[in-house]
Structure 1
């Protein structure tokens, strides 16, 4: 059941059947043409828009019911709704919208005609005459859309076409139940999100209906700090999947949407000017954004919405890093647990602390063009461009033990000695993500056709990545005092302590220039057909097909490693001293290198080589063996239907996905004569069958119970599927090889959900649910399990050799159990200023276990799955004031499997964020936001350790708080 592999012959069958499946509703309708025609003559259609009577804003997610027939519909974007096949007559149209009083009006339906309505809903609260605007309007819109959704989802809605208070898409999602953000280590901003404790690489991300292209070089994660939130109008987090949704998404599916001019009630011209300030950087940054939206034409049939953002800010912080592995003082097999009795201790044989300056620049732009050709057809074009440039300069020290032979006589005593390095790195990283979607919707009688083509591109570039280190050889091996959980204290002799502060003791010890570029391009075509029969119980039959081609490439190469004698004093690299006391570090003042020289190392290093002072060890080396080009062709088709019986909705069907994968990589053979490189190609394919069913029970318009059983996938990272081969030949006729594994299977999960939601008229909700996931062949995110295997090809090529082969494998099985609770409410019934109060809170508790397939690792927590995650927030909106104080927290989680059966953990994290906005006039808002208010610089924003207890630091980052402030103008 986990892996449905039918072989290459299935490819032709699926290709032939994909579009046949999409047209099945047409064929079914053709069986009863006479009946359909007769029914059409006796029925009519009702179409219209639902408008807020106070603000004129279209209302999305409202429930509409024709009382006499029981037919139910929901308003879509722009407040549009439609009822088909309504018998001629006079009816009552009842409207329910959370936050507004129920409303009803009469509608007359004529046979074979379309009745157009403009329903203006009075903007009055049930309990008190309070106009619903601002953040309450956003929450009301989100709750209404969530209530009417066919599946379990959470919606975040912008105030108006792109007005999120958060800086990027990841930050905007941290308020969703079950969602946790992973912060970028140096900038301190949210980058990745996990849903229900599952890593970002196990989720599916779309922007305007197009799968977002990857920019990470070695995972399928999508860094969301690239996407500026200002251009987004809505974010939907799907926690249960329907057959018409992609197979990917074991954690869930995230849909990011930019706005449309048809969502507006009038022309919109908005400017936003913002300043930002980081405690450590002590430098003022700024953001400017603008949005224009309007409809035009004789029938307002054209719409245009354009948005642009430029954001530049400076951050500064410190990073305490163990860059390789901890090892025990007494030598032992790393596959065995450590005996910590006696004098044994753990030692980081590569440890240091650095200060980093980050300059981050975002450029974002989006455009939405809409055209309503007639009452039956609408067309659209949506494009987005997002670019993040991150420039980082770090300075610090490392203590490094030579790794040729770390043990002498069974104890830690590196044969090659231990050095103290004064080290700096300059790195320019550029992430670019863009999408373009062209599509439309056409209705004809009982049919609706949705069609689109799309393109997505993700690029990661490191045009400049330099490391330079000057070193001094210490007098002996270094042990550490761990009495400070954040800052292990190296135990040095008095002579060494004095020497490491004297620049005259240092000579060039290491340097590097690397070139890393990756690109992912996706070409997508999709077609869906929905047939709504003239039936009282069968709501619709829907089928569709999708084709997606992904072309991905990674290029890694070494450019420069200069070797030779170069003293620190007199070289120009002297940079004085760095004070590390800002974060409570016990290391005091440490030597640093000249930042200007580090930034210019490419020119300086190449000139030193040209002058014969140094020699380039990389001269003429080939590209790194991890470089590759790969193509993924995905063919998908589905069939689903919805049936309604009383208060129950049944939605179910099946999805089939076929994947064809080709990889072009390198084989590197290293022997006593040097390295030889040749190209390698590998192919694989697999087919997955994905049944899915969702049942909703709606006894009232405020109460929904949802149950779901569905399957989903997570495909292996390209770097693991790559055909790369590394072969090392020894002179004793022995051979060691590492092989990529193109035959890795997708992780296949059975997911079960049961939840209940009760919606409050005062713009609120109470919900609770449980979920369970059983994941076979799960994917390791940062590293795959390696194990011994055989290779008939290598045995034939190298007869008589003693061959040891390692490759990567799938994990065995993982399970996730969870409980999810949420509550939000606006206390509109309270008198006076207290009527502005509101609250939202959510908590997700989960337990996970994984059998990795590795010895001694048959029951570990699942990766990046904290035991708990939640948010508690107090809100206020009245008298022109909008405020929000949110406390977000998450538990510790397994980051990576470590040696000696001691694993690497991300420690628990909490933050308090505040937002305050004041409406100076109807068109002018002033605001100030504070991120991580309680962070005085002494508590880490990232805290990774070896072992769950947190004694041995792996990666600890201190950033301090950030404050933004600005003004928004509308015309």
Structure 2
């Protein structure tokens, strides 16, 4: 809510106050620390397994290549380092009574192939595979090097290459990311450990297309969670890590420039990216800086045919300009060996300018054509800032973090026109993916149309979150068994606001010349379009005549007030967990507690049209609702090293997902009409409503995972995994008109908690780099789901919405010192999308092929060519049977030509 102050929980304040006491203490035990590099001496190795053989202590090198062991007794130890793609490393290390021993390690390539783990796809695969192998939980990773190997526009498209991942596309571009087919709203997304709010009004899901891929250091997808992670991750958790200056061993500069062309609209689009990292000595301290900026402006479009499956066909033509600006500035400061501080910032601005032409053909007793336009520019911004530190005090590690993030979406003055013509000669058989509409010449003549409505719509949404987190880790040893005890707390305060201001004009059109607005040059690839209108002419027409238009005040109020609400969430979490290392077995177990205080403010907006009493009015009744709920979330992750190449994993966890903001918002939109009925000779009242439900319970899920991973050597992995999810309180949209609360209403649609839903699946993955330069990877996820829903007030079992039975990826590549080639295929099987009236809407299967080629001029410079959607795959949705069109949309192929240079 506006003006609300942060009210930190007492337990968080108590934990935070203990930080000062710990930091003031002095470390006295012996410490072994080091840094791991690749052969070229400028690549730091992340994810290597580091072990002190005699003590059974293991750790994993961080993103800056560093590793550390504390509280060591004096003696001689064997240091072992293993990294897939490099030869095993072993050395003897002398440890004194106290102090710091520094060990710098240079790994050698496993094979005598130049740049084996330095450049190209092998480098990206090696880092990701090692990170996955040594993770304590079930995790998939995309490194920055891997992102650069594919023609992906943004973070969501980069993630689709991983097992179990799928994306929802908008205008052919990947936006929302699903994990194992679960609704993207049920995932958790963080940037540098900070929860990322959604800029869009009614949802929680974050469209990752607002994050340019050039700003990403790595992407990590956790499919099983540990207690120190946020509990709102039924699908899983996606962590976006941006660049750090310590990620590279020396100063680095990179630059890339690209131009692309969309075949459907024949437009050229530029793209630029620049990054810089360096480490500076400040006395005995180190200050690292990493900064990056990325900009692109893409012009493209789509052609579309939609229908209602019965008596309407709609033709749509889109012209779109999407502009992305992203920037990051990250600072890392190492005051001394035991105290490290960081400041992370990320800014992203994404604008989507769209001009849509639409002709809706209605085939009823009397034919009608509705010709409409939409002209709008929507801008989304994300600002994420987090500051924190890591302190080592004796056998304690203290991590704290303060975060602030804010997302906004602004859509000012979106302009809509609606023209109507009746009784023109049109016909269709409503058959096939692209139902043909036969049109007479009169359909193209705008003088046969009447201007029916103009609307000017502005909406704004804002989602911001402030958070405080504190983690304490204690190293323990029991009878030579190494363990860690970790506990901490996190407080999150979130505010979501959505406002709309809508003006609907339905009269005052007598002096408006819209006939001259016709655009005779429209190109549409799916047949005969119908009348087309000119964007600039319509915008000028509104500016000239807006003061003379007649405002429909009732409808304008209903649309505006029925789309506005405020929501606040205060979330307090605390956890305790332990990690136990028993030779080949590693256990991570614990419990997390999350308490949510929720409040929403909105309105009950009722449009009354009463002929009997000659009354038309809008009644706005404020509606405020609040509630609290809490949940204990236990979890356990087990990792067993059968051999050095064969890893078995098992996991159980409980997770939750809070309902979508639009579902729990305190908003009711009611239409009440009282009209004279000739048959009964009386006045009769019909009432319909669409209402939110602030009493919705959160989703809860029991999650089971089993997996087996085989690392055959060189750079490769084969894995198989099984997962099961049992989800309660699943949310469905139901007609609740017959319930006591809505007695006398004809239709009332409201989100309600359904019964249990289940999901079972198998993940298969294979990645392999061959000695001859051939690279191959393939993965597939096979799932089966059941959920209970309602159709015509009847209960029946169906699959989860948007749940594809099969998702798969295939990549075939070839690399030498001079060239790099990739052909990729992404497959997503059909799925049930939603229930639309008495029909079920399905999304058809989708297969897309992409190609990328690189030529390395030298070690630092290369040029590249990308071909996206080579097979010109359309998006197709249908009702009940594939012969019944719901939506058919084509985007064309996109070709990119680019240049990249780096200093390292």
Q: Please report the TM-score for the alignment, with normalisation by the length of structure 1.
A: 0.86
State how far apart, in whole Å, the 2-side matches of 1:24 and 1:62 are: 33
State how far apart, in whole Å, the 1-side matches of 2:444 and 2:745 are: 50
Aligned counterpart, 2:895: 963
Aligned residues: 876
Task: Go from structure 1 to structure 2 and tell me whether the alpha carbon gap of 1:711 and 1:570 turns closer, same or farther (over 3 Å shift).
Answer: closer
Task: Go from structure 1 to structure 2 and tell me whether the alpha carbon gap of 1:619 and 1:17 turns closer, same or farther (over 3 Å shift).
Answer: closer
Which deviates more, 561-570 or 528-537? 561-570
Taking the TM superposition and a 5 Å limit, the aligned residue runs for 1:88-127 are 88-122=74-108, 124-126=109-111
What's the secondary structure of 1:693's corresponding residue?
Answer: strand
State how far apart, in whole Å, the 2-side matches of 1:72 and 1:538 are: 9
Aligned counterpart, 1:540: 484
What's the secondary structure of 1:944's corresponding residue?
Answer: strand
1:753 to 678, 683, 705: 705
State how far apart, in whole Å, the 2-side matches of 1:740 and 1:424 are: 30
Aligned counterpart, 1:420: 369
Aligned counterpart, 1:554: 498
Taking the TM superposition and a 5 Å limit, the aligned residue runs for 1:46-57 are 46-57=32-43
Aligned counterpart, 2:679: none
What's the secondary structure of 1:603's corresponding residue?
Answer: helix
**Contact 1:813-1:852 at 8 Å conserved across structures:** no
* Residues 1:487 and 2:461 are matched in the alignment: no
2:261 to 268, 277, 288: 277
State how far apart, in whole Å, the 2-side matches of 1:863 and 1:256 are: 26
**Contact 1:421-1:509 at 8 Å conserved across structures:** no
**Contact 1:560-1:618 at 8 Å conserved across structures:** no
* Residues 1:819 and 2:762 are matched in the alignment: yes
State how far apart, in whole Å, the 2-side matches of 1:50 and 1:868 are: 40
What's the secondary structure of 2:47's corresponding residue?
Answer: coil
Task: Go from structure 1 to structure 2 and tell me whether the alpha carbon gap of 1:163 and 1:289 turns closer, same or farther (over 3 Å shift).
Answer: farther
Which deviates more, 918-927 or 852-861? 852-861
What's the secondary structure of 2:562's corresponding residue?
Answer: coil
2:289 to 288, 304, 313: 304
Aligned counterpart, 1:335: none
Aligned counterpart, 1:339: none
Q: C-alpha displacement at 1:91, in angstroms?
A: 1.5
1:470 to 409, 419, 423: 419
Aligned counterpart, 1:684: 627
Aligned counterpart, 1:377: 339
Task: Go from structure 1 to structure 2 and tell me whether the alpha carbon gap of 1:807 and 1:54 turns closer, same or farther (over 3 Å shift).
Answer: closer
Task: Go from structure 1 to structure 2 and tell me whether the alpha carbon gap of 1:129 and 1:702 turns closer, same or farther (over 3 Å shift).
Answer: farther
1:61-119 CA distance string (max 9 Å, x none): 10111122221111112111111232211122111011001111121101122212212
Which deviates more, 802-811 or 599-608? 802-811
Q: C-alpha displacement at 1:423, in angstroms?
A: 2.4
1:444-486 CA distance string (max 9 Å, x none): 111111100111111111113222132210269x764144x22
Aligned counterpart, 1:222: 206
Aligned counterpart, 1:621: 557
Task: Go from structure 1 to structure 2 and tell me whether the alpha carbon gap of 1:392 and 1:601 turns closer, same or farther (over 3 Å shift).
Answer: farther
State how far apart, in whole Å, the 2-side matches of 1:853 and 1:472 are: 38
* Residues 1:910 and 2:853 are matched in the alignment: no
**Contact 2:150-2:822 at 8 Å conserved across structures:** no
State how far apart, in whole Å, the 2-side matches of 1:190 and 1:284 are: 20
Task: Go from structure 1 to structure 2 and tell me whether the alpha carbon gap of 1:634 and 1:958 turns closer, same or farther (over 3 Å shift).
Answer: same
* Residues 1:883 and 2:821 are matched in the alignment: yes
Aligned counterpart, 2:832: 894
State how far apart, in whole Å, the 2-side matches of 1:53 and 1:128 are: 11
Q: C-alpha displacement at 1:257, in angstroms?
A: 0.6
Task: Go from structure 1 to structure 2 and tell me whether the alpha carbon gap of 1:290 and 1:843 turns closer, same or farther (over 3 Å shift).
Answer: same
Q: C-alpha displacement at 1:396, in angstroms?
A: 3.6
Task: Go from structure 1 to structure 2 and tell me whether the alpha carbon gap of 1:699 and 1:506 turns closer, same or farther (over 3 Å shift).
Answer: same
1:670-709 CA distance string (max 9 Å, x none): 3333112232211111111111111110133322111001
What's the secondary structure of 1:61's corresponding residue?
Answer: coil
Aligned counterpart, 2:886: 954
* Residues 1:741 and 2:689 are matched in the alignment: no
**Contact 2:231-2:655 at 8 Å conserved across structures:** yes
Q: C-alpha displacement at 1:165, in angstroms?
A: 5.2
**Contact 2:374-2:416 at 8 Å conserved across structures:** yes
2:736 to 783, 787, 795: 787
What's the secondary structure of 2:158's corresponding residue?
Answer: helix
Taking the TM superposition and a 5 Å limit, the aligned residue runs for 1:11-50 are 15-17=9-11, 44-50=30-36
Task: Go from structure 1 to structure 2 and tell me whether the alpha carbon gap of 1:498 and 1:632 turns closer, same or farther (over 3 Å shift).
Answer: same
State how far apart, in whole Å, the 2-side matches of 1:734 and 1:560 are: 24
Q: C-alpha displacement at 1:566, in angstroms?
A: 4.7
State how far apart, in whole Å, the 2-side matches of 1:804 and 1:231 are: 48
State how far apart, in whole Å, the 2-side matches of 1:965 and 1:929 are: 7
Aligned counterpart, 1:6: none
* Residues 1:360 and 2:322 are matched in the alignment: yes
Aligned counterpart, 2:535: 595
What's the secondary structure of 1:760's corresponding residue?
Answer: coil
What's the secondary structure of 1:561's corresponding residue?
Answer: strand
Which deviates more, 516-525 or 596-605? 596-605
Taking the TM superposition and a 5 Å limit, the aligned residue runs for 1:669-680 are 669-671=606-608, 672=610, 673=615, 674-680=617-623
Aligned counterpart, 1:499: 442
What's the secondary structure of 2:859's corresponding residue?
Answer: coil
Task: Go from structure 1 to structure 2 and tell me whether the alpha carbon gap of 1:25 and 1:757 turns closer, same or farther (over 3 Å shift).
Answer: farther
Q: C-alpha displacement at 1:528, in angstroms?
A: 0.5
**Contact 1:650-1:695 at 8 Å conserved across structures:** yes
What's the secondary structure of 1:137's corresponding residue?
Answer: helix
Q: C-alpha displacement at 1:570, in angstroms?
A: 6.4
Q: Please report the TM-score for the alignment, with normalisation by the length of structure 2.
A: 0.92
2:799 to 849, 855, 861: 861
Q: C-alpha displacement at 1:644, in angstroms?
A: 2.2
Aligned counterpart, 2:680: none
Aligned counterpart, 1:387: 349
State how far apart, in whole Å, the 1-side matches of 2:173 and 2:43 are: 33
Q: C-alpha displacement at 1:56, in angstroms?
A: 2.8
Task: Go from structure 1 to structure 2 and tell me whether the alpha carbon gap of 1:300 and 1:886 turns closer, same or farther (over 3 Å shift).
Answer: farther
State how far apart, in whole Å, the 1-side matches of 2:547 and 2:306 are: 32
* Residues 1:133 and 2:82 are matched in the alignment: no
* Residues 1:930 and 2:863 are matched in the alignment: no
Q: C-alpha displacement at 1:844, in angstroms?
A: 0.5
1:842-885 CA distance string (max 9 Å, x none): 01111111012554442111011101001110122212212211
Unaligned 5+ segments in structure 2 are 1-6, 675-683
Unaligned 5+ segments in structure 1 are 1-11, 30-35, 327-346, 402-411, 796-800, 829-834
**Contact 1:774-1:814 at 8 Å conserved across structures:** yes
**Contact 2:270-2:296 at 8 Å conserved across structures:** yes
Aligned counterpart, 1:142: 128
1:898-936 CA distance string (max 9 Å, x none): 222x3111110011111111111222111111111121x
1:160-191 CA distance string (max 9 Å, x none): 9988752200111111001011111x3x1111
State how far apart, in whole Å, the 2-side matches of 1:542 and 1:805 are: 49
* Residues 1:774 and 2:711 are matched in the alignment: no
What's the secondary structure of 1:455's corresponding residue?
Answer: strand
**Contact 1:243-1:652 at 8 Å conserved across structures:** yes
What's the secondary structure of 2:711's corresponding residue?
Answer: strand
Task: Go from structure 1 to structure 2 and tell me whether the alpha carbon gap of 1:151 and 1:789 turns closer, same or farther (over 3 Å shift).
Answer: farther
**More strand, by proportion:** 2
1:261 to 245, 263, 284: 245
Task: Go from structure 1 to structure 2 and tell me whether the alpha carbon gap of 1:96 and 1:498 turns closer, same or farther (over 3 Å shift).
Answer: same
1:245 to 220, 224, 229: 229
* Residues 1:836 and 2:773 are matched in the alignment: yes
State how far apart, in whole Å, the 2-side matches of 1:791 and 1:17 are: 43
State how far apart, in whole Å, the 2-side matches of 1:750 and 1:311 are: 42
**Contact 2:519-2:532 at 8 Å conserved across structures:** yes
State how far apart, in whole Å, the 2-side matches of 1:22 and 1:746 are: 29
State how far apart, in whole Å, the 2-side matches of 1:597 and 1:825 are: 57
Task: Go from structure 1 to structure 2 and tell me whether the alpha carbon gap of 1:802 and 1:132 turns closer, same or farther (over 3 Å shift).
Answer: closer
State how far apart, in whole Å, the 2-side matches of 1:230 and 1:504 are: 51
**Contact 1:381-1:436 at 8 Å conserved across structures:** yes
**Contact 2:647-2:709 at 8 Å conserved across structures:** yes
**Contact 2:315-2:529 at 8 Å conserved across structures:** no
**Contact 2:503-2:551 at 8 Å conserved across structures:** no
**Contact 2:285-2:335 at 8 Å conserved across structures:** no
